[in-house]
Amino acid sequence: YALYKKMTLAAILIQSKFRSYHEQKKFQQSRRAAVLIQQYYRSYKELGRPNPRSRATAAALVQHKL
């Protein structure tokens, strides 16, 4: 019974760490996408017109990350 209990606790710990890692990775992807959108918007606001090349690149990166 003690071995079963120890293995169960180890499995719970591994699952917990994996879930934490997975959620952190998803959050970082969302954050990078948000920063990219903000950069594009600030550039657009500053220049007054979009740069077609950077727009396509930004759109592709955001789509990929989402």
Q: What is the pLDDT of residues 13-36, one digit of tens each?
A: 999 999 999 999 999 999 999 999
Q: Is 48 helix (H, G, I), strand (E, B) or coil?
A: coil
Q: Would you place residue 50 in the very low, low, confident or very high pLDDT band (cuts 50, 70, 90)? A: low
pLDDT of 15 reads 97
